[in-house]
Chain A
Amino acid sequence: MTDPITAAARATPAPVARRIRGLSDRAIAWLFVAPTIFLLLAINIFPLIWTIRLSFTNYAANRPNREVEWVGLRNYERILTDDGIWANMQTTAHFLLWTLFFQVVIGFTLAWLINRKFKGNDLLTTLIVLPMMLSPAVVGNFWTFLYQPQIGLVNYVVELVSGIPASSFSMLGPGGYAPWSIIIVDTWMWTPFVMLICLAGLRSIPDYIYEAAEIDRASKWRQFWTITVPMVLPFLMLAVLFRGIENFKMFDMVVLLTGGGPGNETLLASIDLKREAFEKWRTGYSSAYAIILFVTVFGLASIYVKALNKVKER
């Protein structure tokens, strides 16, 4: 089934096909790629190099006239020996690990259920996806309302379900619930993402593999662990990579939900960094902080990608 144009093109010898008027292909290629590369150099790479440079100084952006001194590695030394920053890193790790755990478990389960192809699964999938398309800042702000003790929806539902009085606890206040509150909102928003990628993974498994397993009399349980899980694993790991990078950078939703509080209970690294850079105006110090975070993400991500490739090769 070839249309005449395709047939003509196939029949034409290559040199004729390449004979063109106007710019050469090479010139066009450069012309087309250059603006993108230029934009990325100007707004991504150049600032990154600038950050590295600033990290060795004591520059303060709100005092541009003060003499800038080179301080060598002192900023890095101070950050790596600061107990507060290690505490923030632990807060970030707590947030990261639990959000990934919940999103993987719930996301995979949902995908597995949706893959039963019951009636109306398309519509439900679309509705489930809605939260992840919304502005994290607006969502974070609104969840402060849902988390209000007394008048908030969350406490009310907890009271209805468990009988614990709504006014006896505060999700965002003291009492240790705040780190879990941000995990709940992030899980609510981003479980659909993990679900969609798992769903793509499940749908990529050809039916004949299950049919072969059935002929071999493998139990459903065995099929699940020897076919479904290994085949979805590379997809799931990819989802974890994307979510991991995003949540390491997490800023907007949490800053509006808790602002890092109460105390420093939900002070994630990015929020702390923003305070150092744009409230305390310790530009040099916070540049070093930014580089440390950046190197951490890149280091962890590349180790992870190596593991991912190993899984894919199997």
Chain B
Amino acid sequence: MSAYSVTEPTGRSKLVAGALVMLYTIVTLLPLVWIISTGFKSGPDSISYPPKVLFEPSLEGYVNLFTTRTRVAAEEFENLPPADTWYDQIVRDQGMVIAGPSRFGERFLNSVIIGFGSTFLSIFLGTLAAYAFSRFKVPLKDDLLFFILSTRMMPPIAVAIPIYLMYRELGLSDTHLGMILLYTAVNISLAVWLLKGFIDEIPREYEEAALIDGYTRFQAFRKVVLPQAATGIASTAIFCLIFAWNEYAFAVLLTSGTAQTAPPFIPTIIGVGGQDWPAVAAGATIFLLPVMIFTILLRKHLLRGITFGAVRK
């Protein structure tokens, strides 16, 4: 590093740039902060005017998210035994009693199963294909690679109609397996392209040395290439997971009950006379928080995935 460089910005320009970016960050984070804080408001606080910035925190939204509630007649309500638990008490304070658990737990679990299932499958198939494209002479290699990429440009609705019909015939509608296969098909193009980039960077000499030591090609792949590609595989996996986690269009068209994921479910959370905003906010927070944490923890690795591997260092 030289002591003076013409390309190094001056102190003042850094300060101005920093302040402007800081301002943008605050504005852009405001809606997210609002979502999270609304989750901890009581019903009346969430819809007060002017909007409340300071409020008494309440777990009402979270309790309502996980339960279904009913109103009971006034006299019956008076005669109920005292609430057993804190969450019973929160529901009582709204003048209702708990009728049972809500479906949010199931929907969240579906998101987890389908998200991880399709990520695992995309990475498994994607790594194999990427290795083959990276190391072997595959006939029509460039055409196949372009074909794989081009499938990503297809609007989901353009293929949704026949997939809907096909799944109906095969009994895959509203099943975990159906959604896992579908999300794998959508993710695999990204997975192959990103992983090929990572594997291309591993020197071939490592495998060739392993082959000389008596490994078969397959063993060399498993014991030499895979460990070397681990970081790349992990960051690709996060990308596939986030896509499957967030997807809505296919989920709403192809699932209704057993395999429905959280994104089509959260907007359907309603309370008395419209959406129960604290509960919606609580659901959104629980659903969005894992992604936010992943993004912050893995920011360095995610960059490459965001730019679709099109931008190399």
Contacts and interface: CB of A to CB of B under 8 A. Distances in A.
Do A and B associate with each other?
yes
A39 B192 CA distance: 13
B132 interface: yes
B83 interface: no
A119 interface: yes
B216 interface: yes
A8 B206 CA distance: 10
A116 interface: yes
A141 B266 contact: yes
Contacts of A110: 21, 24
B49 A32 contact: no
B161 A286 contact: yes
Interface string B121-161: 00001101101110111100000100110010111111111
A249 B211 CA distance: 47
B205 A39 contact: no
A235 B9 CA distance: 23
A5 B209 contact: yes
B32 interface: yes
A144 B294 CA distance: 26
Contacts, number: 309
Contacts of B291: 133-135
A242 B155 contact: no
B31 A242 contact: no
A263 interface: no
B217 to A, nearest CB: 5
B185 A40 contact: yes
A180 B47 CA distance: 24
Interface of B, secondary structure class, is helix
Contact of B158 (A20, A32, A119, A291): A291
A22 B215 CA distance: 9
B249 A39 contact: no
A156 B50 contact: yes
A277 B51 contact: no
A283 interface: yes
Contact of B157 (A19, A146, A251): A251
B223 interface: no
Contacts of A274: 157, 249, 253
Interface residues of A, number: 111
Contact of A138 (B129, B164, B252, B263): B263
A221 interface: no
Interface residues of B, number: 109
B291 to A, nearest CB: 5
Given A61-B164, A142-B281, A294-B158, A117 B9 contact: yes
B248 interface: yes
Interface stretch (B12-20, B61-69, B70-78, B227-235): B12-20
B287 A29 contact: no
A65 interface: no
Contacts of B212: 8-9, 12, 16-17
Interface in B150-202: 151, 153-166, 181-182, 184-185, 188-189, 192
B129 A32 contact: yes
Given A110-B21, A211-B7, A256-B267, A145 B277 contact: yes
B310 A40 contact: no
Given A9-B208, A251-B157, A294-B158, A150 B49 contact: yes
A297 B153 contact: yes
Contacts of A153: 30-31, 34, 51
A220 B181 CA distance: 53
Given A37-B144, A114-B17, A151-B48, A8 B9 contact: no
Contacts of B302: 129
B116 interface: no
A116 B197 CA distance: 29
Interface in A121-135: 121-122, 124-135
Given A9-B208, A61-B165, A134-B291, A39 B281 contact: no
Contacts of B6: 210-211, 214
A309 to B, nearest CB: 13
B79 to A, nearest CB: 36
A8 B205 CA distance: 9
Contacts of B189: 40
A278 B253 contact: yes
B264 interface: yes
B58 interface: no
Contact of A135 (B20, B245, B299): B245
Interface in A8-44: 8-10, 12, 16-23, 25-26, 28-33, 35-37, 39-40, 42-44
14 contacts: A5-B206, A6-B203, A20-B216, A20-B217, A29-B138, A46-B166, A51-B161, A51-B162, A106-B24, A122-B299, A126-B299, A145-B280, A196-B307, A294-B154
- By Cβ-Cβ distance, the 5 closest A-B pairs, closest first, are A137-B248, A43-B185, A50-B162, A22-B216, A118-B18
